[in-house]
Structure 1
Amino acid sequence: MKAVLVENYDNIGNIPIKEVARPELSAGMVRVRIQAAAVGFVDGLKVQGLYQTKDPLPFTPGSEFAGIVDEAAADVKDFAPGTPVIGMVINGGLAEYICVPAGDLFVTPKGIEPEVGASFFANYLTALYALSARGKLQRGETLLVLGAAGGVGIAAVQVGKLLGARVIAATSTEEKRKFAINHGADAGLDYTGEGWRDELKELTGGQGADVIYDPVGGDLSLQAFRSIAWNGRHLVIGFASGTIPALRFNLPLLKGGALLGVDLAQIGRREPEVRDQVIAQLFTWLSEKTLVPVVGKVFAFEEFHEAFKAMTTRSALGKMVVRIG
Structure 2
Amino acid sequence: MALPPSPMQMYAVVGQELKLESYQLRRVDVPEPGVGEVRIAIKCTGVGFADGLLSTGQYQLKPPLPFIPGCEFSGVIDALGPQVINVDIGQPVSAIAMGGGFAEYAVVPQASLTRLPNGMGFAEAAVCWVDYTTALHALRDRGRVRPDETVLVLGAAGGLGQAAIQIARLLGARVIAAASSLAKRETALKLGAWQVLEYTDSSWTEQLKALTEGRGVDVIFDPVGGAGLETAFRRLAWGGRHLVLGFAGGTIPALPTNLPLLKGGSLIGVDVRQFDLYQPLEAAEARAELAQLIAAKRLQPETGRRFTMAQFAEALAASLDRQRIGKTVLEISSS
Q: Aligned residue for 2:299? A: 291
Q: Indicate the SS of the match to 1:35.
A: strand
Give the whole-Å Cα distance in 2 for the aligned partners of 1:277 and 1:101. 16
From 4, 8, 17, give the equivalent of 1:8.
17
From 89, 99, 103, give the equivalent of 2:97.
89
Give the whole-Å Cα distance in 2 for the aligned partners of 1:4 and 1:115. 19
Q: Which amino acid aligns with 2:15?
A: V
* Normalised TM-score (structure 2): 0.94
From 120, 129, 132, give the equivalent of 2:128.
120
Q: Indicate the SS of the match to 1:119.
A: helix
Deviation, structure 1 residue 277: 3.0
The answer on whether the counterparts of 2:53 and 2:320 sit within 8 Å (CA) in structure 1 is no
Give the whole-Å Cα distance in 2 for the aligned partners of 1:113 and 1:226. 42
Give the whole-Å Cα distance in 1 for the aligned partners of 2:190 and 2:22. 37
Give the whole-Å Cα distance in 2 for the aligned partners of 1:235 and 1:74. 40
In the TM superposition, 1:223-238 aligns within 5 A as: 223-238=231-246
Q: Aligned residue for 1:189? A: 197
Give the whole-Å Cα distance in 1 for the aligned partners of 2:22 and 2:15. 9
Give the whole-Å Cα distance in 2 for the aligned partners of 1:52 and 1:311. 17
Query: How many corresponding residue pairs?
Result: 324
Identity over the aligned pairs, expressed in percent?
46
Deviation, structure 1 residue 242: 1.1
Q: Aligned residue for 1:255? A: 263
* Normalised TM-score (structure 1): 0.97
In the TM superposition, 1:1-325 aligns within 5 A as: 1-10=10-19, 12-325=20-333
Q: Indicate the SS of the match to 2:275.
A: helix
Deviation, structure 1 residue 13: 4.0
Q: Indicate the SS of the match to 1:292.
A: coil
Give the whole-Å Cα distance in 2 for the aligned partners of 1:131 and 1:276. 17
Give the whole-Å Cα distance in 2 for the aligned partners of 1:74 and 1:15. 33
Q: Indicate the SS of the match to 2:52.
A: helix
Deviation, structure 1 residue 314: 3.1
Deviation, structure 1 residue 274: 2.5
Q: CA-atom RMSD, angstroms?
A: 1.1
The answer on whether the counterparts of 2:114 and 2:287 sit within 8 Å (CA) in structure 1 is no
Give the whole-Å Cα distance in 1 for the aligned partners of 2:66 and 2:285. 35
Give the whole-Å Cα distance in 2 for the aligned partners of 1:293 and 1:256. 35
CA offset digits 1:148-195 (Å, max 9, x no partner): 011111110111111111000101111111111011111100111111
The answer on whether the counterparts of 2:37 and 2:82 sit within 8 Å (CA) in structure 1 is no
